[in-house]
């Protein structure tokens, strides 16, 4: 299927992923998976029994990309590659999603305080029935956080739409003692790997 242009569809509602794509000059349209319509049920982000963190994030990302492609076909939208991504935070094998409330956010921050954890982001590009995928992992070390600091942070809106209950590009940057890996991957879209996938699909990033 010949692409309509050099644009892609981004199957993510994350404002950070939009910012990062704009940073490398990629034109895109949003393809949101939630809502009524011909898309079928939302992609489940529940962890399967005994599913390892990397397997989980790879599976969810691939399903998002494939589902968005089906939406494009069902809506008879101009054909374009579909990019999806998913990020998870892991410590001691425990997958930390987005906290539902202050109590859950506090629990996550207590688990991360003073320790090193992993942030795994998988990206998938679906085109013409084929999915190309890369996964990137970074180590992040947080300083020791006091109860007062964690509570003050959880009183902001920042923890609640981010895996692990914190955002490296926001207020929580002051908590970060050390990172080893990809800063943009921790934000939710590793640009090195993303550019590789886009270039494979003929989408320029320079």
Tell me if 106 sits within 8 A of 154, measured CB to CB: yes
Question: Of residues 46, 55, 86, 139, which has the active-site annotation?
Answer: 86
Residue 32 has phi, psi (to 5 degrees) of -80, 140
Q: Encoding tokens for residue 188? A: 């939710």
Q: Is 161 a catalytic residue?
A: no
Helix (H, G, I), strand (E, B) or coil at 88: strand
Distance of CA 143 to the CA centre of its chain: 24
Angle at 153 between CA 147 and CA 155, to 5 degrees: 105
Please list the active-site residues. Answer: 86
């Amino acid at each position: 299927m010949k692409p309509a242009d050099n644009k892609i569809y981004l199957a993510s509602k994350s404002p950070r992923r939009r910012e990062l794509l704009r940073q490398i000059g990629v034109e895109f349209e949003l393809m949101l998976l939630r809502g009524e319509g011909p898309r079928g049920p939302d992609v489940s982000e529940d962890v399967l029994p005994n599913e390892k963190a990397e397997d989980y994030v790879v599976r969810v990302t691939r399903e998002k990309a494939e589902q968005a492609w089906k939406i494009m076909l069902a809506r008879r939208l101009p054909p374009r590659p579909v990019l999806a991504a998913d990020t998870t935070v892991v410590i001691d094998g425990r997958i930390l999603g987005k906290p539902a409330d202050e109590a859950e956010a506090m629990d996550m921050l207590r688990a991360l305080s003073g320790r090193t954890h992993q942030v795994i982001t998988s990206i998938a590009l679906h085109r013409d029935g084929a999915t190309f995928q890369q996964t990137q992992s970074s180590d992040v070390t947080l300083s020791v956080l006091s109860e007062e600091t964690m509570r003050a942070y959880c009183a902001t809106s920042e923890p609640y739409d981010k895996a692990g209950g914190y955002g490296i590009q926001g207020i929580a940057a002051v908590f970060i003692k050390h990172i080893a890996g990809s800063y943009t991957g921790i934000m939710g879209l590793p640009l090195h790997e993303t550019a590789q996938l886009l270039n494979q699909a003929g989408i320029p990033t320079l």
